[in-house]
């Protein structure tokens, strides 16, 4: 069948690009979205893209006008009845795609190919929503569709050879290079390789190994990629990566594809990347704060107060560690924050240790993983460029004690108590607390506290220089705020203040 008119369903980043590409290559296009405003936005995007091409001499004003004339927009799916092929590019949601395909199947003549631009979803499952599975296939363009050379032509279980050949030929007519994906496998080729790299990049960020800018720089210069993983995720849409990871995790039954918590938080907070001027590389640019399940984070007069909010005793578990990691990433990047206070919810405890219910469920691998996460988070806190003050409002035990030791300064309630009680369970502190404590109190006292799990009160902790100051229980936060807001409470010293050169240095202990 000769293709003259291409229907495109969904006029977002990809749909508008595909429509523009088809029109540039001489096809008539019917572009459909659910509301007029999305279509207007798409036409603006297309106009902007071609204005740049004209200014670069790649296209004339006449070509641009003719191309725009070839694009018809509509909110009525029925208008797709005149298309010789339909390419679907609605959001990455299986149910929505099934619904769109089932409707298209009723509207568009039976021999017409229905292609999907899905990034990962099963073609077979989408095709099953129609009565023409042999004429359904994946036609996976890359962003921006006008420029990226590759198209993955993906077979569903019942896609016919003829459909695959016709799509490969169409790709060439669109000036693309097709590759055939012979099996309907989640993520096809490119995303199967790229998504694990995104996940590792986000984990490096969560563990505080490097900033997103430096991770991007390392990947572009070290692997010769044109874009780093964070630039690419912000460009493509942070939510797209999230949905693809969720889908691949479930389809492949492989938790390695699980979206890291920081990514979930960005999606929850609608920091979706370039499309709403936010994302990984723009964490510091205004907008809403991220939302956390187990933490509260308030910023007042440039002092951030993080409260671990699992009353009554605020136990640590993997989710709390992941959220701590995410909030420290966020605050590190926020120029409006100069210092950080860490405290626990309620009056009973700062943190009374690890979540024993979760611990009981963990096997050896799980415990190792938990130790690794805790070490990474404590190190991240210790390495924060902003001073971190622990406001120790009550029991500070086990992992909570280790967390307090990773902070720069400790202000204690007169009712607080300190211990590593885990020795009674045959466990020694696994988050680096053994090292941090001995640096503070010397080996002898550190061993005494660790070997015997002895509980000490606030006055004894002050005597041992474990805490810097003891105040009445109701004054802990105020005392921490007073310190945190002092100009001199800083981990960097600026020589320019003394009329010397403008170098900055960091305190190291």
Ligand X SMILES: NC(=O)c1ccc[n+]([C@@H]2O[C@H](COP(=O)([O-])OP(=O)(O)OC[C@H]3O[C@@H](n4cnc5c(N)ncnc54)[C@H](O)[C@@H]3O)[C@@H](O)[C@H]2O)c1
Q: How many CB atoms lie within 10 A of CB 108?
A: 24
90 interacts with ligand X by CB under 6 A = yes
Phi, psi of 92, rounded to the nearest 5 degrees: -75, 75
Under the criterion CB under 6 A, does residue 92 sit at the interface with ligand X?
Answer: yes
| Helical H segments across 10-122, by residue range | 13-24, 36-55, 61-69, 94-107
Question: Residue 116 or 434: which CB sits closer to ligand X?
Answer: 116
Q: Which of residues 36-55 bind ligand X (CB under 6 A)?
A: 38
Nearer to ligand X, 11 or 376 (CB): 11
- The residue among 236 and 477 lying less far from ligand X, judged by its C-beta, is 236
Per rule CB under 6 A, is residue 176 in the interface with ligand X?
no
Contact between residue 311 and residue 244 where contact means Cβ atoms under 8 Å apart: no
Q: What are the DSSP E strand ranges found in 265-348? A: 295-300, 303-308, 339-344
C-alpha Rg value of the chain to the nearest Å: 28
Q: How many helices (H) and strands (E) does the chain have?
A: 18, 20
**In 3D, which of 384, 386, 380 has the Cα closest to residue 336?**
386
Position among 9, 136, 199, 390 found at the interface with ligand X (CB under 6 A): 9
What SS3 class is residue 271? coil
CA atoms within 13 A on the CB side of 373: 22
- My answer on whether omega of the bond before 30 falls inside 30° of 0, hence cis, is no
Specify whether 119 is catalytic: yes
Rule CB under 6 A: say whether 84 interacts with ligand X: no
Catalytic member of 53, 122, 191, 345: 191
Closest distance of CB 264 from ligand X, Å: 18
Taking the complex as a whole, the smallest distance from the CB of residue 132 to ligand X amounts, in Å, to 19
The answer to whether residue 152 is catalytic is: yes
Q: Kindly tell me which residue out of 53, 119, 122, 374 binds ligand X, with binding defined by CB under 6 A.
A: 119
**How many residues at the interface with ligand X, by CB under 6 A?**
25
The nearest distance, CB 71 to ligand X, in angstroms, is 15
**Does 417 engage in binding with ligand X (CB under 6 A)?**
no
DSSP reduced 3-state for 178: strand
Q: Considering beta carbons, is residue 17 or 208 the nearer one to ligand X?
A: 17
From the list 140, 332, 345, 413, the catalytic residue is 140
Residue of 20, 33, 310, 467 interacting with ligand X (CB under 6 A): 33
395-431 burial string, b = 16+ CB within 10 Å, else e? bbbbbbbbbbbbbbbbbbbebbbbbbbbbeeeeebbb
Q: Which is nearer to ligand X, 150 or 441 (CB)?
A: 150
Residue 504 DSSP one-character state: E
Q: Which is nearer to ligand X, 35 or 494 (by Cβ)?
A: 35
Cα–Cα distances (Å) from 100 to 93, 112, 248, 275, 326, in that order, read: 11, 15, 22, 24, 37
Q: How far apart are CA 68 and CA 35, in angstroms?
A: 19
CB atoms within 10 A of CB 248: 26
Bridge partner residues of 504 (DSSP)? 494
Beta bridge partners of 88: 9, 116
Stretch near ligand X under the rule CB under 6 A, chosen from 27-35, 47-55, 198-206, 328-336: 27-35
- Out of 8, 14, 21, 349, name the contact with ligand X by CB under 6 A: 14
x/- letters, 240..259, toward ligand X (CB under 6 A)? x-------------------
User: With respect to ligand X, which residue has the nearer C-beta, 145 or 471?
Assistant: 145
Q: Does 105 bind ligand X (CB under 6 A)?
A: no
When asked if residue 237 is in the footprint of ligand X (CB under 6 A), the reply is: yes
Q: How far apart are CA 467 and CA 449, in angstroms?
A: 15
| Closer CB to ligand X, 100 or 370, in the complex | 100
Cα 85 to Cα 135: distance, rounded to the nearest angstrom: 10
Asked whether position 139 contacts ligand X by CB under 6 A, the answer is no
For residue 498, the minimal CB distance to ligand X (Å) is 50
Options 50, 89, 108, 245; binder of ligand X; rule CB under 6 A: 89
Is residue 238 involved in binding ligand X (CB under 6 A)? no
Q: Which residue number has the CB closest to ligand X? A: 12
Q: Tell me if residue 95 falls in helix, strand or coil.
A: helix
Residue 34 as a binder of ligand X (CB under 6 A): the answer is yes
Q: Which residue has the tokens 């203040």?
A: 497
- Binding of ligand X by 10 (CB under 6 A): yes
Show which residues are catalytic. 119, 140, 152, 191
Which parts of this chain interact with ligand X (CB under 6 A)?
Answer: 9-15, 32-34, 38, 89-92, 96, 100, 117-119, 142-143, 236-237, 240
């Amino acid at each position: 069948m000769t293709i003259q008119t291409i229907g495109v369903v969904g006029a977002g980043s990809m749909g508008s690009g595909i429509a523009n590409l088809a029109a540039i290559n001489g096809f008539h296009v019917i572009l459909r979205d659910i509301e007029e405003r999305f279509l207007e936005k798409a036409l603006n995007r297309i106009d902007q893209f071609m204005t740049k091409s004209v200014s670069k001499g790649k296209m004339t004003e006449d070509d641009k006008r003719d191309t725009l004339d070839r694009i018809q927009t509509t909110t009525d799916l029925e208008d797709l009845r005149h298309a010789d092929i339909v390419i679907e590019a609605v959001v990455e949601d299986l149910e929505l795609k099934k619904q769109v395909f089932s409707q298209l199947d009723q509207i568009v003549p039976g021999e017409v190919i229905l292609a999907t631009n899905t990034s990962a979803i099963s073609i077979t499952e989408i095709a099953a929503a129609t009565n023409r599975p042999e004429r359904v296939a994946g036609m996976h363009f890359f962003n921006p569709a006008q420029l990226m050379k590759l198209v993955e032509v993906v077979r569903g279980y019942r896609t016919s050879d003829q459909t695959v050949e016709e799509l490969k030929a169409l790709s060439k007519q669109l000036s693309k290079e097709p590759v055939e994906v012979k099996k309907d496998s989640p993520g096809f080729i490119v995303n199967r390789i790229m998504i694990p790299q995104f996940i590792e990049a986000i984990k490096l960020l969560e563990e505080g190994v490097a900033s997103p800018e430096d991770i991007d720089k390392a990947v572009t210069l070290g692997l010769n990629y044109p874009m780093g993983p964070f630039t690419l995720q912000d460009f493509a849409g942070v939510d797209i990566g999230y949905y693809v990871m969720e889908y691949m995790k479930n389809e492949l039954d492989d938790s390695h594809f699980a979206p890291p918590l920081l990514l979930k938080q960005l999606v929850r907070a609608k920091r979706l990347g370039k499309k709403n001027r936010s994302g990984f590389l723009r964490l510091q640019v205004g907008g809403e704060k991220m939302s956390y399940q187990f933490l509260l984070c308030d910023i007042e007069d440039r002092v951030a107060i993080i409260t671990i909010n699992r009353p009554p005793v605020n136990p640590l578990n993997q989710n709390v560690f992941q959220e701590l990691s995410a909030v420290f990433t966020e605050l590190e990047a926020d120029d409006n924050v100069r210092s950080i206070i860490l405290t626990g919810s309620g009056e009973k405890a700062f943190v009374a240790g690890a979540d024993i219910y979760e611990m009981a469920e963990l096997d050896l691998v799980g415990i190792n993983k938990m130790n690794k996460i805790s070490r990474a988070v404590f190190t991240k806190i210790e390495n924060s460029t902003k001073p971190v003050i622990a406001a120790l409002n009550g029991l500070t035990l086990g992992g909570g004690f280790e967390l307090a030791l990773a902070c720069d300064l400790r202000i204690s309630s007169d009712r607080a108590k300190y211990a590593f009680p885990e020795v009674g369970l045959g466990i020694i502190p696994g988050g680096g607390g053994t090292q941090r404590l001995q640096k503070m109190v010397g080996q002898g006292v550190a061993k005494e506290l660790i070997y015997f799990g002895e509980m000490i009160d606030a006055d004894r902790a002050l005597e041992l220089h474990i805490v810097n100051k003891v105040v009445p229980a109701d004054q802990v936060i105020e005392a921490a705020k007073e310190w945190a807001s002092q100009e001199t409470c800083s981990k960097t010293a600026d020589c320019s203040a003394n009329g010397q050169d403008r170098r900055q240095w960091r305190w190291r202990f």
